[in-house]
A and B are shown apart, each in its own frame.
Chain A
Amino acid sequence: MTAVSAGQLLPWLLVAPLAWAVIAVLIESRRGALTIAVHAIGVLLHVALGVALYTSVARSGPAAHALGGWSAPLGIGLRADGLAVTLVLLTAVVSAACAVYVMTTERAAHDADAETPRYFWPLFWLLVTSLNGIWLAGDLFNLYVGLELLGLSAVGLVALGGSETALSSALRYLMAALLGSLAYLLGVALIYAAYGTLALPELAELIAREPLTQLAIALMTIGLCLKTALFPLHGWLPPAHGVALTPVSALLSALVVKGSFYILFRLWFDVAPEAVTPLAAQGLGVLGAGAVLWGGWQALREPKLKMLVAHSTVAQLGYLFLFFPLAVGTGVSAAALATQGMLLHLVAHAFAKSAMFLASGTLIAAAGRGGVADLAGIGRHMPMSLFAFGLAGVSLMGLPPSGGFNAKWLLLQSALASGQWFWLCVLLSGGLLTAGYVFRVFRESFVESKDSQFTPTPRGYDWVALTLAAMAIALGLASQAPLSTMTSGLRVMAGGT
């Protein structure tokens, strides 16, 4: 791999998953060993590409690739800085874990002659393609196409369940996604009219504070917040993430909602820092605080386990938005701390939440029903799944040692450094609410119950969930290396706003 430069590697991260989507359509009617082998090769290749790109960029700096040989603004550029390649690697790892979970299900179903949902794999690979496309994009309109591919494949994955609730959730999700992308596209139209280019690096130099630009950024921000399910636009998320197949829920909560957030972050802090205002940032922060409190409260009251985890996603996404008031209009050190905290939270939440969804799915598969109360007595039978659930919970609550703890600690320090102590209250009460709903699940699980029956589940399920949860914890023990890669070269770290 040493002979290949990062710039040459970039396009393979799009071509490979897209090729596997085509292959997946072609081998869809086959079941069993062949499917598993083919997709295992795809997953391994994808992880290898992700690792190679990450190490290359971490060692020798950002890379770029001019698609079609036409340099921007005429052509479309791909670019990979430390943040982009970290998210590529995160996508590779989390999607690989979800893929292994699905393969475990398929093997168990094959042995038992049972049906598994059809056409999962093509949509899975299209989803992975779109995520990589978004992380690496260097063009405003290309991001729109990437967002649509992400939205449609995610909606399709939700609908695969086929039940009435799956369909209504998918439809609600689709309506929100479509409205969000149109708002974004309208913003793109205004930006092109004002600056005559769509290339992000060029726009970053041109964009000035003027009414049309600010309107464009506002429209794009609203659209992206809707897609990221920021309170109070979050109504579509819990049903969609709660009803989807377990590995799909994990992908959606860990990665998909981060796609639109990532674009928002790039827009505010890389492309148009001149056009955004501290007032707007405070507004996003207030909504984020609303999400932390409301999502946590809803999770506390939720009777169904997967819905509880989905409400928790709404709350955890709120923390991402607390970053805005800490980074816009504050000093360099507060902004740098907030950026580190937010990015670490994004990665830690991806690991912890995918682990938590997978563990919950396993618990539900064992209990046969999806209520939190149905878990009574499961503590004796499924210690591994509960342990994974608990480890993920530690990171979500922000207890040391975990990625979640370090992230919240950094956000807290940033709040103090910028003199905005009121965000501390949100951080602390959010942590308490999280502790509340995680312990609620544990309390039910350890209730002694004689009459409950549990079906055994494949061992593979627990290993996958445990691995992801362990990564969320490990991120707390070794935050420094990924953080310095992620934040290298970001404008906000140098006090760009």
Chain B
Amino acid sequence: MRRRVARHAVAGVASVAVGIALWQAIGVRSIPTVSLPALVREAMPASGVSHDITAVLLNFRSYDTLLEIAVLLAAAVVALALRDTPRERMPASQPYLILDTFVWRITPLLVLVAAYLLWAGSTRPGGAFQAGSVLAGAAVLLRLSGLAVLSVDDRLASRVVVVFGLSVFLLVAAGTLLAGQPLLAYPPAWAGALILMIEAALTLSIAVVLFSLFDNAPQSRPAAAPAQRGEA
């Protein structure tokens, strides 16, 4: 009990202090002299895309994105390492008319949306992560409604898809270095095509990795009764 009170007191004082300090500091800050937006505008013609956020993510600060994909891979690897073996098979389910019809109709639509998001990334908001999340969402929907989706497991094919996006990204990176250029410095003429290629590869891997993170999460009920349809 005393420990609980102490914990709440420390947390309360710390949060209030941080909140007040931030609130006050925001009011007294100075306006910076350096203007990155101006630099971005200036460099846009050479970036290969016409949307400035995509240009920052995949050209000006592409190294951040490379490491970010590595972070995603780290999570996927831990999921593979800790997945249940052997896994409980999803029980074959009875047909569920409304759900099944809905899912079968919406899945192609989601794939289409993902393709659009990927393509749109070069000119307006969109891009690999958004497209990959929509695809992963479609796969999760299929899995939850008990319809067949391949699982992302130890098979070589699964692992190839998981690292596919990062591999393409790395090959481009190594290619730029071998050509005597700085890391990930695309030739301006190819920049648009290279960015689209990297984004397409990333979309596939991001979708599979996000789905695998859902699918490979350990069962929270060890040796429990088989899950009932509709309970998920």
Tell me whether B30 is interfacial, beta carbon within 8 Å: yes
In the complex, whether A373 has a CB less than 8 A from a CB of chain B is no
Other-chain contact of B173, A15, A155, A160 (Cβ < 8 Å): A15
Of A69, A156, A195, A212, the residue contacting B25 (CB under 8 A) is A212
Chain B: interface size category? 35 or more
* A190 proximal to B (CB < 8 A): yes
A14 to B156, CA, bound (A): 25
Q: B59 an interface residue at 8 Å Cβ cutoff?
A: yes
Q: Digit string of B45-74 for contact with A (CB within 8 Å is 1, else 0)?
A: 000000000000001111110111011011
Q: Considering the chains assembled together, what is the distance between the CA atoms of A122 and B62 in angstroms?
A: 22
Measured CB to CB, the closest approach of chain B to A263, in angstroms, equals: 15
The answer to whether B159 touches A25, judged by C-beta atoms less than 8 angstroms apart, is: yes
Bitwise interface map of B from 1 to 40 toward A, beta carbon under 8 Å scored 1, else 0: 0000000000000000010011011101110111110011
Q: State whether A210 touches B60 (Cβ < 8 A).
A: no
B174 touches A15 (CB 8 A): yes
The 8 Å CB contact of A142, one of B24, B26, B63, B163, is B63
Cα separation A75 to B156 with both chains bound (whole Å): 36
In the complex, the chain A residue whose C-beta lies closest to that of B43 is: A74
1/0 per residue A454-468: CB within 8 Å of B? 000000000000000
Inter-chain CA distance A69–B184, complex, in Å, is 8
Q: Tell me which residues from 372 to 389 in chain A have a Cβ below 8 Å from any Cβ of chain B.
A: none
> How far is the CB of B228 from the nearest CB of chain A, in Å?
28
A122 near B64: Cβ-Cβ < 8 Å: no
A68-B68 contact in complex given A22-B167, A215-B22, C-beta closer than 8 Å: no
In angstroms, how far is the closest chain A Cβ from the Cβ of B219?
14
B123 in contact (CB, < 8 A): no
Contact B159 A196 (CB under 8 A): no
Q: Is residue A206 contacting chain B, with contact meaning CB distance below 8 A?
A: yes
Q: Does A331 contact B (CB under 8 A)?
A: no
With A and B bound together, what is the CA distance between A153 and B62 in angstroms? 21
Interface membership of B151, Cβ < 8 A: no
Interface residue A435 (Cβ < 8 Å from any Cβ of B): no
CB neighbours of B33 from chain A (8 A) = 195-196, 206
User: Do the beta carbons of A148 and B71 come within 8 Å of each other?
Assistant: yes
Q: Does A482 sit within 8 A of B, measured CB to CB? A: no
The secondary-structure label for the interface of chain B is: helix
Does A21 lie at the interface of the complex (its beta carbon under 8 Å from any beta carbon of B)?
Answer: yes
Q: Is the Cβ of A122 less than 8 Å from the Cβ of B184?
A: no
Whole-angstrom CA separation of A202 from B33 in the bound complex? 12
Q: Is A149 an interface residue (CB 8 A)?
A: yes
Q: Would B64 and A76 count as touching, CB distance under 8 A? A: yes
Chain A neighbourhood of B62, CB < 8 A: 67-68
A214 to B214, CA, bound (A): 41
Contacts A126-B74, A206-B34 known; A25 to B177 CB distance under 8 Å? no
Check if B32 sits within 8 Å of A194, measured CB to CB. Answer: yes
In the complex, which of the residues B32, B82, B166, B182 contacts A22, with contact meaning CB atoms closer than 8 Å?
A: B166
Nearest neighbor of B75 in chain A, beta-carbon distance: A152
Given A122-B74, A212-B26, 16 other A-B contacts at CB below 8 A?
Answer: A11-B177, A15-B173, A26-B160, A65-B182, A67-B183, A68-B184, A73-B34, A74-B40, A119-B81, A122-B77, A123-B78, A126-B70, A133-B67, A149-B70, A152-B71, A152-B75
Q: 8 closest pairs, A vs B, by CB?
A: A196-B32, A69-B185, A119-B81, A11-B183, A156-B78, A196-B34, A212-B25, A212-B29
Task: Enumerate chain B interface residues (CB-CB to A < 8 A).
Answer: 18, 21-22, 24-26, 28-30, 32-36, 39-40, 43, 59-64, 66-68, 70-71, 73-75, 77-78, 80-82, 154, 156, 159-160, 162-163, 166-167, 170, 173-174, 177, 181-186
Can you list 8 pairs linking A and B with CB atoms under 8 Å apart?
Answer: A14-B183, A29-B156, A65-B183, A69-B181, A129-B67, A152-B78, A211-B24, A215-B21
Interface residues of A (CB under 8 A from B): 8, 11-12, 14-15, 18-19, 21-22, 25-26, 28-29, 65-70, 73-76, 117-119, 122-123, 126, 129-130, 133, 141-142, 145-146, 148-149, 152-153, 155-156, 159-160, 162, 186, 190, 193-197, 202, 206, 210-212, 215, 219
